[in-house]
Chains A and B, each alone.
Chain A
Amino acid sequence: MATVLVLQAALQGLAIGAIIALIALSMTLLFAVCGLVNFAHGDFLALGMYGALLLAGVGVDPYLAAPAVLVVFVAIGALLFVVLVRPVQRSGLLAGAQLTLGLVFILENLMLIGFGGTHQTVRNVLSDRNLSLGGLVLPWQLVVAGLITGVLAMLLNIMIAHTSFGRHIRAITQNPDAAALMGVRINRVQMTAFALALGLLGLSGPLIVGQFTLTPDMGLDYTLRALIVMVLGGLGNFVGSFIAGLLVGVGESVATLFFGGAIGAMVPFGLLLAVLLLRPTGLFAQR
């Protein structure tokens, strides 16, 4: 029985870990290519979820709403980059932090105005259906959310490792000046990466929304976790971030089972602290 419980918690953690990993990957994309730590990342995810809520109001299932929200988010990403991010980029990390913190205020409170402060849930076609495997019971939508985000994360990794766009991204990550000299159009790659990163949030928001309770201020929590996972995996290391995401998800879930929610919530921060102090380049430092 105990093993079943642990296994169940681990699987649940794995699915949530995959979700966090995807958020962290898109955050890593922004950090690696644009040198921006986006504190509004979780809020954009929340916005994607509220987009699904909006469309669910007119009878569109969240799974079908995802492509529409994706398109809108790609446009928002490109616009945001051109209007706000590019002009302040040269002013450094702090300027980017102030910019995205400003966006946090704007987004959270626009959502508060638009959707109210009450807790809301969005139902989809899979709500209330469970997958039973032996003694394990997992909600279908969590399984689907975990699988989809896992696949998306893998696709992103493949793209970065094997396409020419991915090569440009890696080149900029390593040395933007040299990349520019080699003929990489930094500006265009940065804009595409920005649109892609936000697009990923717009796509995954509706796909995972069934698993969450929506409130306008839910974003910060996911921003923090994504930040932690990004660092655990080694800044700019895409595969590392993915594994770290799974690790944090499973660790938090299993620790919550054994020691309760308070200790469980401490796990990501404890992991972060331990890794930073003992192995500052991240768990999976590239040699």
Chain B
Amino acid sequence: MKAGRRFATLIVLALALAMPWLLSQSWLNTLIIAVLYAYLASAWNIVGGFAGQFSLAHGLFFACGAYGSTLLEQQEGVNPWLGMLISAAFAAALGAAIAWISFRRSLPPLTFALVTLALGMLGLLGVSSSDAFGGAGGISLPIGGGGLAEYRMPSDQATYYIILAHLLVVLAICVWIYEGRLGLYFRALRDSERGARAIGIDVLGYKMLAMAISAALTAAGGTFMARYLLFIDPPTFLGLDVVVQSILFAVVGGIGTIFGPLLGALILVPLSEALRAQLGSSFSGLYLVVYGAVLVLVIRLAPGGLVGIVYRMRARGSPGRA
């Protein structure tokens, strides 16, 4: 069993590494976006799924990574890789602070989602109207020049491997958290805050920690997105779109599981892209109608997410392990 699983992991990894040679240019770009979203959804899942704290402020952290690394490079000449780390540290502090403000007193459920929603929207409106961040017009990054050492993408293959490396790191962190003591604490405070407190878990501290880890990882994703698009503007990075999409992928795949968010993003992003290619020419919005219908159907037929279906099938295959 153990050996079989290791073998399967190796095959999947080899397949992932071979992708640039198997796919056409346009599908490789779709895959890059899919892997980016798998990364973002997995990062969100640490606080939203493992710890059950529904953050809608992740646009702030995403923007931290994009704006932070870019402004540090353009104004202080800081290497973007270093800028990524600095922005991630800043995002972690910001995330911990947001969690502290929100959870300092115990609030009714749903409140954290609303506090983070308000903070996210205030961030969007604030950055859009502030000249220091390029305002609503955004900031362009110079095209070309420099190599990987300056976080410039020499080719789509390189871009893909960079984001794949991001994804592998976040998955490793997810496995490490989930299977370790930290994951137990997170799940305990998610399932019963009172119970968690009663057995001596520092609830506030671990919520801040979950938020900080998730925020730092999300910020690194923001840096990647900025280097990939070579353009940053408030709606793309701070809008509700990115966080809502990440949450959708996590929920559709299976929230609170290790591989659910990955599964959701890797299925839904290419699906939406394929639908667009098929239907986009006839009616501009039709592919999104179908996409919405898929979301509705999945929740109607598999409320536990796609991972839930896999578990159910496996449980049926081996009786007595339900």
Pairwise interchain contact B125-A91, C-beta atoms closer than 8 A: no
Pairwise interchain contact A113-B284, C-beta atoms closer than 8 A: yes
Which residue from B125, B251, B294 sits with its C-beta under 8 Å from A94?
Answer: B251
List of B residues within 8 angstroms of A112 by Cβ: 284-285
Q: Does B319 count as interface, using CB distance less than 8 angstroms?
A: no
List of B residues within 8 angstroms of A64 by Cβ: none
Shortest CB–CB separation between residue B205 and chain A, in angstroms?
A: 20
Interface stretch, picked from B27-35, B116-124, B188-196, is: B116-124
Interface pairs (27), CB distance under 8 Å = A87-B300, A88-B303, A91-B304, A95-B299, A98-B299, A101-B244, A101-B295, A102-B293, A103-B296, A104-B292, A105-B289, A108-B285, A109-B289, A110-B285, A113-B283, A113-B284, A113-B285, A113-B289, A216-B285, A224-B121, A227-B114, A231-B114, A266-B125, A269-B118, A269-B125, A273-B122, A276-B107
Among residues 74 to 113 in chain A, which have CB atoms less than 8 Å away from a CB atom of chain B?
Answer: 84, 87-88, 91, 93-95, 97-99, 101-110, 112-113
- Size of the A side of the interface (Cβ < 8 Å), in residues, is 42
List of B residues within 8 angstroms of A113 by Cβ: 283-286, 289
List of A residues within 8 angstroms of B102 by Cβ: 277
List of A residues within 8 angstroms of B293 by Cβ: 102, 106
How far is B289's CA from A108's CA once the two chains are assembled, in angstroms?
8
How far is B240's CA from A261's CA once the two chains are assembled, in angstroms?
20
| Contact code string B113-141 (vs A, CB < 8 Å = 1, else 0) | 01101110110011011000000000000
Q: Does B110 count as interface, using CB distance less than 8 angstroms?
A: yes
Shortest CB–CB separation between residue B255 and chain A, in angstroms?
A: 7
Shortest CB–CB separation between residue B261 and chain A, in angstroms?
A: 13
Shortest CB–CB separation between residue A117 and chain B, in angstroms?
A: 8
Among residues 263 to 311 in chain B, which have CB atoms less than 8 Å away from a CB atom of chain A?
Answer: 283-286, 288-289, 291-296, 298-300, 303-304
Nearest A residue (CB) for B284: A112
Do A280 and B128 contact each other (CB < 8 Å), given the known contacts A99-B296, A273-B119?
no
Pairwise interchain contact B285-A88, C-beta atoms closer than 8 A: no
Q: Does B147 count as interface, using CB distance less than 8 angstroms?
A: no
Nearest B residue (CB) for A272: B118
Q: Does B79 count as interface, using CB distance less than 8 angstroms?
A: no
Pairwise interchain contact B118-A109, C-beta atoms closer than 8 A: no
List of A residues within 8 angstroms of B291 by Cβ: 105
Pairwise interchain contact A109-B288, C-beta atoms closer than 8 A: yes
List of B residues within 8 angstroms of A105 by Cβ: 288-289, 291-292, 295
Q: Does B111 count as interface, using CB distance less than 8 angstroms?
A: yes
Most buried by A among B101, B118, B251, B303: B118
How far is B238's CA from A269's CA once the two chains are assembled, in angstroms?
15
Q: Does B105 count as interface, using CB distance less than 8 angstroms?
A: yes
Which residue from B108, B122, B129, B286 sits with its C-beta under 8 Å from A109?
Answer: B286
| Contact code string A99-133 (vs B, CB < 8 Å = 1, else 0) | 10111111111101100010000000000000000
Pairwise interchain contact B119-A98, C-beta atoms closer than 8 A: no
Q: Which 9 A-B pairs have the closest CB atoms?
A: A105-B292, A109-B285, A102-B295, A262-B129, A106-B292, A91-B303, A112-B285, A102-B296, A109-B288
Q: Is the interface of B mostly helix, strand, loop or mixed?
A: helix
Shortest CB–CB separation between residue B57 and chain A, in angstroms?
A: 11
Q: Does B252 count as interface, using CB distance less than 8 angstroms?
A: yes
List of B residues within 8 angstroms of A54 by Cβ: none
List of A residues within 8 angstroms of B118 by Cβ: 228, 269-270, 272-273, 276
Do A262 and B288 contact each other (CB < 8 Å), given the known contacts A87-B300, A94-B255, A231-B114?
no
How far is B285's CA from A106's CA once the two chains are assembled, in angstroms?
9
Shortest CB–CB separation between residue A234 and chain B, in angstroms?
A: 10
List of B residues within 8 angstroms of A281 by Cβ: 108
B-side interface residues toward A, CB under 8 Å? 101-102, 105, 107-108, 110-111, 114-115, 117-119, 121-122, 125-126, 128-129, 240, 244, 248, 251-252, 255, 283-286, 288-289, 291-296, 298-300, 303-304
Pairwise interchain contact A91-B299, C-beta atoms closer than 8 A: yes
Nearest A residue (CB) for B295: A102
Nearest A residue (CB) for B255: A94
List of A residues within 8 angstroms of B122 by Cβ: 266, 269-270, 273
Shortest CB–CB separation between residue B239 and chain A, in angstroms?
A: 10
How far is B108's CA from A102's CA once the two chains are assembled, in angstroms?
26
Q: Does A220 count as interface, using CB distance less than 8 angstroms?
A: yes
Among residues 134 to 188 in chain A, which have CB atoms less than 8 Å away from a CB atom of chain B?
Answer: none
List of B residues within 8 angstroms of A87 by Cβ: 300
Pairwise interchain contact A277-B296, C-beta atoms closer than 8 A: no
Shortest CB–CB separation between residue A24 and chain B, in angstroms?
A: 14
List of A residues within 8 angstroms of B111 by Cβ: 276, 280
Do A98 and B285 contact each other (CB < 8 Å), given the known contacts A87-B300, A269-B121, A281-B108?
no
Nearest B residue (CB) for A111: B285
Nearest A residue (CB) for B285: A109
Nearest B residue (CB) for A92: B303
Most buried by A among B122, B293, B295: B295
List of A residues within 8 angstroms of B295 by Cβ: 98-99, 101-102, 105
List of B residues within 8 angstroms of A95 by Cβ: 299, 303
Pairwise interchain contact A277-B286, C-beta atoms closer than 8 A: no
Which residue from B114, B126, B248 sits with its C-beta under 8 Å from A101?
Answer: B248
List of B residues within 8 angstroms of A277 by Cβ: 101-102, 115
List of A residues within 8 angstroms of B114 by Cβ: 227, 231, 272, 276
Among residues 252 to 287 in chain A, which have CB atoms less than 8 Å away from a CB atom of chain B?
Answer: 262, 265-266, 269-270, 272-273, 276-277, 280-281
Pairwise interchain contact B125-A106, C-beta atoms closer than 8 A: no
Known: A102-B294, A227-B117, A269-B117. 6 other contacts (CB 8 A): A88-B299, A98-B252, A101-B248, A109-B292, A269-B118, A280-B107
